[in-house]
Structure 1
Amino acid sequence: MLGFSAYLHSSLKKDDLVMFNKFVQAGFKGVFTSINLPEDDPKVLLANLKSLGQMCADNKLELTLDVSSSALKRLNLELPHDLNVFQELHVTMLRIDDGISIQEIAQLSQEMKIALNASTIVQSEIDELKADKADFTNLEAWHNYYPRENTGLDRDWFKEKNRWLKLNNFKVMAFIAGDENLRAPVYKGLPTLEENRYENPLVAALNMGDFDVDRIYIGDSAIATTTFEQFRNYFVDHVLQIRVQLHNAPSYISHIFHQRADVSRDVVRLKEGRPLNHSRIEPNNSGLRRQGSITLDNVLSGRYQGELQLVKYQLPADNTVNVIGQIADKDIGLMKYCVANQAIQLIDIES
């Protein structure tokens, strides 16, 4: 499940509504927000939460609210006594931060979905939740995001922690960073994993499949227009868009291709390449095929003339193969997800 973040420091403006609708159209199903930031004005938080909650309800989106005892105190609210306040604002899940006891969490879980801190929960707390008759069907494990560079989680620790959480039957959530209008005051993205901080958000999202993550939320409140298109095409239309720079490419290069059913080790073979070609391809630019090269077999390759490939690993020059383009650096990681029969579209970013 995909989600995005919307913050409550100011009322929703026209640009925020446009961004919200783009996320909905791209297949996102959940929204994360917080009342925990001390710089936010308590007087406007609930009013803005009401507007956001209504938008989520209108679009059938889940709304998760990050809460802590200090934030609740600033709002003159107390859990579980004032739980109905959040329910009436269309909050569907509370993510529990500091200052709320295990006993209170167990009680809350009997009335609504609760997200625990995935990074810090330990076995003794799970045992205590069981003893306090928590409803584990309403409990999930959500990781933090890490604004400061170099503080994001280590991949091996993250993988092992998620394995343990899965053994305890938790759904797991993690954040990835956006790539536009990064959140103040650090402006370095809001990922859970440090290695994802500057990645293409789609690469980071797909990478979460390696870590047993069930929910993937963008921590920042925006992604670029081209990134929206990549998400929408992949998760709605099931087409993997890869941004490229092309030269001397055939006119049919904008066609939607498919990876062959038999997946090669060194290259992604686009099975429509040869059938679409109806002309003689002269040798041209038959140089080193570095990772991410887009290649077209020329007339010297005989019956392979017209073969289109994406190069996974650097290969030597071959006079039967023309290099006609290069995958954008941030999209090279998408080749990992060119699985058998995957629909693929090459988007020329210089056209």
Structure 2
Amino acid sequence: MGLGVSVYPERVDVDAIVQYLGRAGTLGYSRVFSCLLSAEGGRAHVVERFSPVARAAHEASMALTLDVSPVVFERLGISPDDLSFFCDLGANAIRLDEAFTPREVAALTHNPYGLAVELNASTADGTVAAVCACEPDRSRLSACHNFYPQRYTGLSASFMEQESRAAKELGLGVAAFVSSGQPDACGPWPLKEGLPTVEAHRNAPIDLQARHLFATGVVDDVLVSNCFASDDELRSLAALDPATVALGVVPAKGAEAPLFNALLGSSLRVRGDSSPYMLRDSDQRARLAPLGIAPHNTWGLVPGDVAVVNDRGGRYAGELQVVLKAMDNDGTKNVVANVVEEERFLLGYLGPWSGFSLLA
């Protein structure tokens, strides 16, 4: 699983792009996305604008993907039988926003330059399965969703998961886009309404967008679609553990700060014998019980509450419980935190043995 950024040398200063990629590379970002669909001019112009981006990407140990289509091939005089132009430009992969025939796409993956090929994961037109039936080099084939500049045009989360799962079942890696909230962040087109893959992400914090994509289990790489994301945004994504569902929480009213703070940042895991009422992490008993947990905040439990069994719970003292359904409290459970309301949907991605963490 990896992180990436997107840059558009047709829209922003190349020197600023070089600095941006350097910062992202330092944080561990491994991918750069850029777009030839919106690039104007012929080969010479493209080389002039995009070669510095490729050099900066490689200096930052990042792989460059260029978004292309049959129209781009025609405009630049590129034959599907000869991808040397992209190799000479410094690209590591091409993404086919619109594909050639399945047999042609499969043939592209066998190019002698080592270029990888990404298919559009958002079209639901059978292309991904059809290409996989034509014996491509699957080690060079993956899928990447669209991003959507126009408000209300993004994918539903369920559709994104459906199409991602279909690609994963064929053995392909899947990438999707999140959107910076910076007001001046731009994409390849004039609109500045955000550039998410999933419409519900359009106005959400960038880290929540990424946490959702990773939580689905069907997205491998998350790319920031518009540029430039702030340094704080880049750091917030770099700090995520893709294998863990991170839940934003706030202290419950009157919660004791030491116990609340003890819950944050730890690697947590749901027990294998799941309950419809709560997610339990029994391993926390050994860590939290020695703190001494006097009964406090022992009111009735509602979905989103994060509770810790107090000293009255005997052998269960210290157990962490995240509430899924309303239930009575027999006085043994201290409500310590609440999952942020806008993030409670992430609880639906947690099941037996799922890893999770709590973030303030």
Shorter-chain TM-score: what band? 0.7 to 0.9
| Contact 2:102-2:127 within 8 A present in 1 as well | no
* Correspondence for 1:57: 58
* Correspondence for 2:249: 244
* Correspondence for 2:280: 268
Pick closer, same or farther for the CA change 1:234–1:155 going to 2, 3 Å: closer
| Contact 1:176-1:196 within 8 A present in 2 as well | no
User: Given the alignment, which residue of 254, 265, 269 partners 1:259?
Assistant: 269
Distance in structure 2 (CA, Å) of the matches to 1:324 and 1:298: 11
Distance in structure 2 (CA, Å) of the matches to 1:172 and 1:255: 28
* Correspondence for 2:83: 83
Aligned ranges 1:312-323 → 2 under 5 Å: 312-323=324-335
Identity of aligned residues (%): 22
User: Given the alignment, which residue of 113, 116, 125 partners 2:119?
Assistant: 116
Pick closer, same or farther for the CA change 1:320–1:56 going to 2, 3 Å: same
Deviation at 1:245, TM superposition (A): 1.8
1:177 aligns with 2:184: no
Q: Secondary structure, in 3 states, of the residue corresponding to 1:234?
A: coil
Report the residue type matching 1:54 in the other structure: R
Report the residue type matching 1:308 in the other structure: L
* Correspondence for 2:153: 151
TM-score after normalising by structure 2? 0.72
Distance in structure 2 (CA, Å) of the matches to 1:10 and 1:347: 34
Distance in structure 2 (CA, Å) of the matches to 1:227 and 1:311: 32
| Contact 2:286-2:318 within 8 A present in 1 as well | yes
| Contact 1:36-1:68 within 8 A present in 2 as well | yes
Distance in structure 2 (CA, Å) of the matches to 1:291 and 1:218: 32
* Correspondence for 1:284: 296
Distance in structure 1 (CA, Å) of the matches to 2:339 and 2:28: 25
Unaligned runs of 5+ in 1: none
1:225 aligns with 2:232: yes
Pick closer, same or farther for the CA change 1:323–1:82 going to 2, 3 Å: same
Deviation at 1:234, TM superposition (A): 0.9
What is the number of residues matched between the two proteins? 338
Pick closer, same or farther for the CA change 1:24–1:187 going to 2, 3 Å: same
Pick closer, same or farther for the CA change 1:283–1:44 going to 2, 3 Å: farther
Deviation at 1:224, TM superposition (A): 7.2
Pick closer, same or farther for the CA change 1:85–1:261 going to 2, 3 Å: same
| Contact 1:260-1:269 within 8 A present in 2 as well | yes
User: Given the alignment, which residue of 241, 246, 257 partners 1:234?
Assistant: 241
Pick closer, same or farther for the CA change 1:328–1:39 going to 2, 3 Å: farther
1:190 aligns with 2:195: yes
Report the residue type matching 1:115 in the other structure: E
1:206 aligns with 2:211: no
Distance in structure 2 (CA, Å) of the matches to 1:135 and 1:255: 41
Deviation at 1:4, TM superposition (A): 2.2
Write out per-residue CA displacement over residues 53-75 of structure 1, whole angstroms, 9 at most, x where no aligned residue.
Answer: 1233234332110123555666x
Report the residue type matching 1:267 in the other structure: L
